[in-house]
Chains A and B, each alone.
Chain A
Amino acid sequence: MVPNLAYYLVLSGILFAIGAFGVVYKRNAIGMFMCIELMLNSVNLSFVAFSRYFNDTTGQMFVFVVMCVAAAEAAVGLGIIISIFRNRESLDVDDASILKN
């Protein structure tokens, strides 16, 4: 007897909600980036839980792909953050609300 699927889904939902709130609440781009990573992780948790409870490795494949996408996102996103910082000397997303520079 182990905790059933709903426990993991509720935990995943709570983490996703915290991440979504953080994306709205945070002002600097790196904080928003970290909250997006948090949301990706909460989705990974629900994938792994489903994969466990339906005895199917497909969920773990999805997690693998999500991790690769997160790594790619980290590389490109941090590159964008660095170039924004170079141009505007600030990481506040409100300062970068106009794309033109």
Chain B
Amino acid sequence: MLQTINLETIASYAAFYLFAGMAIGFAGSVVYQRNPLYSAISLIGVFLSLACIYVTLASPFIAATQILVYAGAIMVLVVFVIMLLNVEEDLLSTKRLKSLTAVGAIMGLALASQAGFIYYAVTTSLNRSATGGTATSQPTMGATQAIGESLFTRYLLPFEATGLLLLMAIVGAMLLSRRLSTENLEKVVEHERELRHDADFN
């Protein structure tokens, strides 16, 4: 079937290939760079190109959240920890886990065949279904208002659960990363011991 090629088609494909190429390139750079700071900056590049792809997928809310949460909050935290700990460059030792090479090869082959099967299944089912493969234009779909309405009506319980999860994460992170001096630690241990002692008597 011969399709008329118009400017919109060329633009959407060009945008996809540009941002997809940027995402893959930056992702390769995340793995390739030895210096953790360089990988962190490459990861920010991946997040930004994915945000651009979300915009082309008519999801501006998700794109904005991607930039705010990932590139803004999470990566700042990562870079902060990298600088706080003064992480040294990654050194590769070749003797590490050499005995598992064969197992790794087999499992990699299994993963690759699964990926191939999923690709095959998706493409064939897309060709079969009439509506699944093409985006129908419905401009309100990704709008922030629609997302907000379903977030507070149909998906209220997951939303509340997410809030609880974040609270638990905050408390856990504070517990994990606090440092007590030796005398304070002894005070805490002594206090706990007294509490248990009292509980035993009562």
Contact = CB atoms under 8 A, between A and B. Distances in A.
Nearest to A15: B27
B84 A37 contact: no
B110 interface: no
B134 to A, nearest CB: 7
B113 interface: no
Contact of B138 (A31, A48, A55): A55
Given A6-B119, A18-B31, A34-B39, A70 B74 contact: yes
Given A6-B119, A60-B142, A61-B151, A11 B78 contact: no
Chain B: interface size category: 35 or more
A99 B40 CA distance: 27
Given A45-B53, A72-B166, A91-B87, A53 B132 contact: yes
Please report whether the interface of chain A is mostly helix, strand, loop or mixed according to DSSP.
helix
Interface in A17-69: 17-22, 24-28, 30-31, 33-35, 37-38, 41, 44-45, 48-49, 51-55, 57, 60-61, 63-65, 67-69
A74 B74 contact: yes
A67 B70 contact: yes
A52 B59 CA distance: 8
Given A3-B16, A33-B78, A34-B30, A41 B70 contact: yes
A2 B119 contact: no
Contacts of A7: 16, 20
Interface in B124-173: 126, 132-136, 138, 141-142, 146-147, 150-151, 155, 158, 162, 165-166, 168-170, 172-173
User: Which of A10, A15, A44, A57: most chain B Cβ within 10 A?
Assistant: A57
B91 A27 contact: yes
A5 to B, nearest CB: 6
Contacts of A51: 57, 59, 141-142
Contacts of B99: none
A73 B9 CA distance: 39
Contact of B158 (A21, A31, A65, A81): A65
A41 B47 contact: yes
Interface of A: 1-11, 13-15, 17-22, 24-28, 30-31, 33-35, 37-38, 41, 44-45, 48-49, 51-55, 57, 60-61, 63-65, 67-76, 78-83, 85-86, 91, 94
5 contacts: A1-B12, A14-B27, A34-B40, A75-B77, A81-B85
Given A4-B133, A6-B122, A11-B20, 11 more contacts: A5-B133, A18-B24, A38-B46, A45-B50, A48-B53, A57-B150, A60-B61, A81-B85, A82-B176, A83-B177, A85-B85
